[in-house]
Amino acid sequence: MLILNAYAKINLALDVLYKRPDGYHEVAMVMQAVRLADTVTLTSKPNDIALSINISGLPADASNLAYRAAALLKPYAFPQQGVHIRLDKQIPLAAGLAGGSADAAAVLKGLNCLWELNLSLDELSKFAAQLGSDVPFCLYNSTMLATGRGELLEPLPPLKSCYVVLAKPAIEVPTSWVYQQFKADKVSRRPDIAVMRNCLAAGSLTGVARNMVNVLESVTISAYPEIAKIKESMLRYGAMAALMSGSGPTVFGLAHCQEQAEAIACQLKAEGVPEIFVAETVSKVE
Ligand SMILES: C[C@](O)(CO)[C@H](O)COP(=O)(O)OP(=O)(O)OC[C@H]1O[C@@H](n2ccc(N)nc2=O)[C@H](O)[C@@H]1O
Ligand SMILES: Nc1ncnc2c1ncn2[C@@H]1O[C@H](COP(=O)(O)OP(=O)(O)OP(=O)(O)O)[C@@H](O)[C@H]1O
């Protein structure tokens, strides 16, 4: 039996460069893993793939990204090798935190061991990219620059360890809709990735905080102003910076320490924000 942590991600910077002929958008993103995790338990069983999940509202069938990850690797295993996948979800669904992608990446990494496939991380990355743009990052965690449609990764100097508050309003935002609605002329500020890289290299959390920009806010916040309210609240309660993660709707705030993060979380809870988490950042590849 193998038990893996499938970590959520946040986007410290997200820029959309242009729409590509294949329908995807060329992006440049600074991605960061955080210690809010689903638990993925893989148990050997004969022949086929089975999946169970601790929550309803998520299909436990062949459409699930965790199942699809196992199905991708199955042809490389012996026919009698199967697996039971157990997902214990903690990462909220459709939140902009790559929960499904993290599960899929954990299944790829775990089955590589359980089925003794001996695939390199590079090879696993190619399978990961077939499952979704965020899945390759979830194989590596830590702090990465993601380009292409998000699948081309370059390690960045790891973000100095800190705590984040994650707050999800009670809305679900489909990623495809956000990208479809994106218009470059509606963006007021774009991230400077080179400056962000320098701030990371210098270990400057305040520098990172000052340069956190996500151009997809121009779409999601226009449709859901409650996201802007959560950002404002986080700043009022002392966060160094607050930004929407990915396509939203979750907002994350950078805090100086765990105590401050917990205090911000408490105040957001009192305001009625339904789902709030405090998590440490992941500062090395795990
Ligand atoms: C918003 C982010 O989460 C930021 O990390 C990612 O860019 C999205 O990653 P993801 O959820 O793994 O995305 P995918 O499952 O590959 O694609 C979901 C939808 O978003 C659109 N999409 C995604 C990534 C990208 N670079 N351009 C896109 O236009 C795709 O057309 C697709 O309709
Ligand atoms: N194991 C899984 N966990 C969560 N969602 C899954 C899973 N498998 C498939 N899905 C589907 O994928 C959709 C998006 O899920 P996810 O929670 O990964 O969104 P997200 O956090 O917005 O991802 P991203 O940040 O990559 O856009 C969900 O609506 C769900 O139906």
Q: What is the pLDDT of residues 70-87, one digit of tens each?
A: 999 999 999 999 999 999
Give yes or no for residue 88 having a pLDDT over 90: yes
Q: CATH classification of 163-280, choosing from 3.50.50.60, 3.30.70.890, 3.40.718.10, 3.40.710.10? A: 3.30.70.890
More confident call, 269 vs 256: 269
Which of 15, 38, 134, 231 is flagged as catalytic? 134
Q: Is 245 in the pocket of ligand 1 (CB under 6 A)?
A: no
pLDDT tens-digit readout, 127-165: 999 999 999 999 998 999 999 999 999 999 999 999 999
Coil, strand or helix: which one is 49? strand
Question: What pLDDT is stored for residue 41 in this prediction?
Answer: 98
Looking at beta carbons, which pairs linking 127-134 to residues 24 or more positions away fall under 8 Å?
A: 127/69, 127/72, 127/73, 128/69, 128/104, 130/72, 131/65, 131/68, 131/69, 131/72, 131/101, 131/104, 132/65, 132/100, 132/101, 132/104, 133/24, 134/9, 134/31, 134/98, 134/101, 134/246
pLDDT at 284: 73
Q: Is the CB of 220 under 6 A from ligand 1?
A: no
State yes or no: pLDDT of 126 exceeds 90.
Answer: yes
pLDDT in tens, 177-227: 999 999 999 999 999 999 999 999 999 999 999 999 999 999 999 999 999
DSSP code of 282? Answer: P
Mutate to test the pocket of ligand 1, among 25, 175, 220 (most ligand atoms within 8 A of CB): 175
Q: Percent of the chain, pLDDT > 90?
A: 97
pTM, two decimals, is 0.97
pLDDT at 23 (0 to 100): 97
Nearest to 193 by CA among 32, 29, 9: 29
Whether residue 285 is predicted with pLDDT greater than 70 in this model: the reply is: no
User: What mean pLDDT do residues 17-42 have?
Assistant: 98
Mutate to test the pocket of ligand 2, among 14, 54, 93 (most ligand atoms within 8 A of CB): 93
DSSP string, 159-228: PPP-EEEEEE-S----HHHHHHH--GGG-S----HHHHHHHHHTT-HHHHHHT-EETTHHHHHHH-THHH
Place of tokens 């090395």: 284
- Tokens 């309660």 — which residue? 237
Whether residue 124 contacts residue 109, with contact meaning beta carbons closer than 8 Å, is answered with yes
Neighbours of 92 (CB within 10 A): 19
> What pLDDT score was predicted for residue 286?
67
Which residue's alpha carbon is nearest to atom 33 within ligand 1?
176
CATH topology assigned to domain 2-155? Ribosomal Protein S5; domain 2 (3.30.230)
| pLDDT above 70: percentage of residues in the chain | 99
Q: Is the dihedral of CA 133, 167, 186, 200 positive or negative?
A: negative
User: How sure is the predictor about 283, in pLDDT bands with cuts at 50, 70 and 90?
Assistant: confident
Q: What is the mean pLDDT of the chain?
A: 97
Q: Where are the domains of the chain?
A: 2-155, 163-280
Angle at CA of residue 191, ends 189 and 193, nearest 5°: 160
